[in-house]
Structure 1
Amino acid sequence: MSVRNRFGTTAALAVMTTVGAVLLSACGPDNTGSDAAAPGSAAPGATAPGAPAPGGSARPSTPAPGTPAPGTPSHGTPAPGTKEVNGTSAANHLTISTGTRAVTMNGTTVDFGTVVRDLAWSADGKRAAFINGNGDLVVADPDGGAKATLATAPGGETWSHPTWQHAAQGPSDLPESAERFDTIVFAAARGGVLRLEKIPTKAVGGTPEVLTPRTSLDGSADRPQPPQTGNTWADAGGRHGEIVYANTPAGEVYLYDDYIRPATRDLGHGSQPALSPDGEHVVFVRSVDGHDHLFTRSSRIDQQDEKDLTPAAATDYTEPAWSPDGLTIAARTPDGVSTLPADGSAAPAPVSTVKGLPAYRP
């Protein structure tokens, strides 16, 4: 489903589509029958195994009989007469989560032992954050082991799309060994209302708090403040805690920077933004002539020019992600995952038929 359908801007539909935007734009198809390890496709909007029903309680995920232990590669052999394109390797750092127990990476699939939705990697690549089958925020090692539940989603609340906010605690010239803080920011939907929430990565069993975007530290009345609700799809980059996110009702992309003091800026019309590893550029999705295109622009306040990376798009490119070196962008398509140069010097090329959310492990 294209972004133009997931993120409608008609006022009368804004509340109805808010939660749907999160669920449909999550990491990919969710299997409704089991926690099977094999990547697969399911009907849009299907509820992941064990996911809490609106207003209800969650049921625990149960491993399917014969499922290999977490961390065991479980990449199967394609059926006779079929061709499978995986597209991931240790060299390209690409990973794909499909809303099942399986995460495609390093040229194989790894069973995490639980449903993995909206997988995101820490800045050092040593930990993964995701929403599990119960709808809770979980971190784990790259093989699915050493899981820890950072926070449990309250009944009737749906969480999605976590991102690691990683920054030096102090001046920008601090060495890499300086004290740092790590926070995970994610979207929380309750009663049709979306907000961004955050929690420290070491707060196992903790309680998230609402992230409040402001244009200034004191929220002065003479400065218009950004929307406090409808915020979703946060993505962090750089080493100073910058975050880009989308506001669904407004159809706008914002940059939030809480380094030294909070500041929020509107970057223009779009959705599903991703911030480059150096924090200098943003890629986002915008509908053009019936298809979802990828656009980039600088994150600097004095540079507002945009570039359409997919001007000849004949399909939809959504859910973009930056490679660790900032040179490549991966995006989801209806047929799998494609990649393209971040400078737009070449058209997107299909790299995988696995249908899911692309992410890069540093």
Structure 2
Amino acid sequence: MTARARSRTRSTAAAIALTAGITGATMLLTACGPTGDNASVSTSPSAKAGSKGVSGAKKNGTTTNGGAKNGTAAKPVSHTRPVTPALNGTAHNGLTISDGTRYVVMNGTRVDFGTAVRDLAWSPNGAKAAFIDGDGDLAVANPDGSGRVVVAKNPGNQTWSHPTWQVRPYDTQNQIPAANNLLFAVRNANVWKLYGIPATAHQGTPKVLSLNAESGPGAPSIPQTGNSWPNAAGKYGTSVYANAGTGDVYIRDDYLRQQGSKLAAGSEPAMSPAQDQDIVFVRSVGGHDHLFLETSTNGGPTYKDLTPHATTDYTEPAFSPDGRTIAARTPSGIVTLPANGSQAPVRVSSYTGLPAYRG
């Protein structure tokens, strides 16, 4: 089934199958300092004494670390360090955690990127990291923080957040060019929009993403503002994002032609890199933020609450490269769980921040 067919199946069935309320997900942010625990620190070759750290960093979204959910303000940052010894849980599994400081938790240690790292996202092959740096710019670097390049420079008075890689190969059959882009959210004059730029640009100028609705009679329009939290994955370069105004998750397909539709009530969506039809997102249920999995089938989308017995908030989900595991943030650290919901979440790290997987 093509990306267009999947998108059309989702939107038609979702309008009938899902009428749940708007999510109320709230993020709790914790900044871990460079000392005070037993984890070692790996210093990147690009780290300089004069590099800007957290103190000189511009805000990402409306928070001072992590990422802003749907453009809304998060709770105040806590500077409490993890209890010694800190539970790391990032060795040999590709999991990474960024919390707005210059230190990224990864490979069982912490790597010094030499600048504040917000909303870290990895290229599908794991060779490059994209993030919002201490100057509020969109940057790309090697996994150890070296070779940092400013892909796009923030002109000022804007908030940039949550970059994601849109990568797909050249399609010889349909003559569709290859893509290697970075999509991200921009708040300008309190208005959120989605932007894109080639990942290989150097201080380039990003452009507003087109957000066209699916064609056909009765197809609802797509909101052009209030959009944030983009996430792209899969061989077609399809992406999902959240809209603060409607409280819904949307899908954007530009494979054969650009079109999109509403998927479900929720926020903070992520697409499976391995299974294009699988999307995880956050929705408030019974006073806690739950993780939901949406799977597209020929009969329409199906929805599953992956955390039906939640006694805490699960936010900011991310898929592993094979699509079998989901990592999520909680107030006490990072948890992982099977993407099929067969087991309850297990805490793997006492560090709190934005989880992401390096391919």
TM-score bracket relative to the smaller structure: 0.7 to 0.9
State yes or no: 1:343 paired with 2:316: no
Structure 2 CA distance for aligned equivalents of residues 311 and 119 of structure 1: 29
The 1:319/1:5 distance shift into structure 2, 3 A limit, reads: closer
Select the residue among 292, 314, 326 that pairs with 2:323.
326
Secondary structure of the residue that 1:212 maps to in structure 2? coil
Structure 1 CA distance for aligned equivalents of residues 158 and 265 of structure 2: 27
Structure 1 CA distance for aligned equivalents of residues 319 and 327 of structure 2: 7
Q: How does 1:122-201 map to 2 (within 5 A)?
A: 122-171=123-172, 180-201=178-199
Structure 2 CA distance for aligned equivalents of residues 328 and 173 of structure 1: 32
Structure 2 CA distance for aligned equivalents of residues 171 and 162 of structure 1: 28
Q: Measure how far apart 1:101 and its partner are.
A: 0.4
Deviation per residue, 1:56-104 (Å, 9 max, x gap): xxxxxxxxxxxxxxxxxxxxxx99x933100101x21101111100001
The 1:48/1:248 distance shift into structure 2, 3 A limit, reads: farther
- Taking only aligned residues, the RMSD between alpha carbons, in angstroms, comes to 2.7
Q: How many residues matched?
A: 301
Higher RCO, Cα 8 Å, sep 6+: 2
Secondary structure of the residue that 2:55 maps to in structure 1? coil
Q: How does 1:1-362 map to 2 (within 5 A)?
A: 4=24, 6=26, 28-29=29-30, 37-38=34-35, 48-52=54-58, 82-89=84-91, 91-171=92-172, 180-216=178-214, 223-278=219-274, 279-299=276-296, 302-362=299-359
Q: Measure how far apart 1:299 and its partner are.
A: 4.1
CA contact 2:296–2:302 (8 Å) conserved in 1: no
Structure 2 CA distance for aligned equivalents of residues 196 and 299 of structure 1: 24
Structure 2 CA distance for aligned equivalents of residues 172 and 215 of structure 1: 25
Structure 1 CA distance for aligned equivalents of residues 200 and 220 of structure 2: 34
Query: How high is the TM-score relative to the length of structure 1?
Result: 0.77
Q: Give % identity.
A: 50
Number of the residue aligned with 1:65: none
Structure 2 CA distance for aligned equivalents of residues 335 and 283 of structure 1: 21
Deviation per residue, 1:223-277 (Å, 9 max, x gap): 4321000000001110111001001111100110100111102111000000001
Question: Which structure 1 residue ranges, 5 or more long, are not aligned?
Answer: 7-23, 41-46, 55-77
Secondary structure of the residue that 1:304 maps to in structure 2? strand
The 1:53/1:271 distance shift into structure 2, 3 A limit, reads: closer
CA contact 1:39–1:354 (8 Å) conserved in 2: no
The 1:289/1:327 distance shift into structure 2, 3 A limit, reads: same
The 1:301/1:356 distance shift into structure 2, 3 A limit, reads: farther
Structure 2 CA distance for aligned equivalents of residues 203 and 189 of structure 1: 21
Q: Measure how far apart 1:169 and its partner are.
A: 2.7
Q: Measure how far apart 1:51 and its partner are.
A: 3.1
Question: Which structure 2 residue ranges, 5 or more long, are not aligned?
Answer: 1-22, 38-52, 61-80
Secondary structure of the residue that 1:49 maps to in structure 2? helix
Structure 1 CA distance for aligned equivalents of residues 132 and 217 of structure 2: 37
Structure 2 CA distance for aligned equivalents of residues 39 and 211 of structure 1: 43
Secondary structure of the residue that 2:24 maps to in structure 1? helix
CA contact 1:97–1:103 (8 Å) conserved in 2: yes
Q: Measure how far apart 1:145 and its partner are.
A: 0.3
Q: Measure how far apart 1:339 and its partner are.
A: 0.4
Q: Measure how far apart 1:180 and its partner are.
A: 2.8
The 1:39/1:103 distance shift into structure 2, 3 A limit, reads: farther
The 1:101/1:196 distance shift into structure 2, 3 A limit, reads: same
CA contact 2:25–2:289 (8 Å) conserved in 1: no
Deviation per residue, 1:5-44 (Å, 9 max, x gap): 64xxxxxxxxxxxxxxxxx68xx4468xxxx64599xxxx
Structure 2 CA distance for aligned equivalents of residues 38 and 184 of structure 1: 33
Secondary structure of the residue that 1:305 maps to in structure 2? strand
Deviation per residue, 1:127-146 (Å, 9 max, x gap): 00000111000000000000
Structure 2 CA distance for aligned equivalents of residues 259 and 4 of structure 1: 32
Deviation per residue, 1:105-161 (Å, 9 max, x gap): 111110000000000000110000000111000000000000000011121100000
Structure 1 CA distance for aligned equivalents of residues 318 and 250 of structure 2: 17
Q: Measure how far apart 1:49 and its partner are.
A: 3.0
Q: Measure how far apart 1:48 and its partner are.
A: 4.6
Structure 2 CA distance for aligned equivalents of residues 53 and 334 of structure 1: 21
The 1:205/1:39 distance shift into structure 2, 3 A limit, reads: farther
Query: How high is the TM-score relative to the length of structure 2?
Result: 0.78
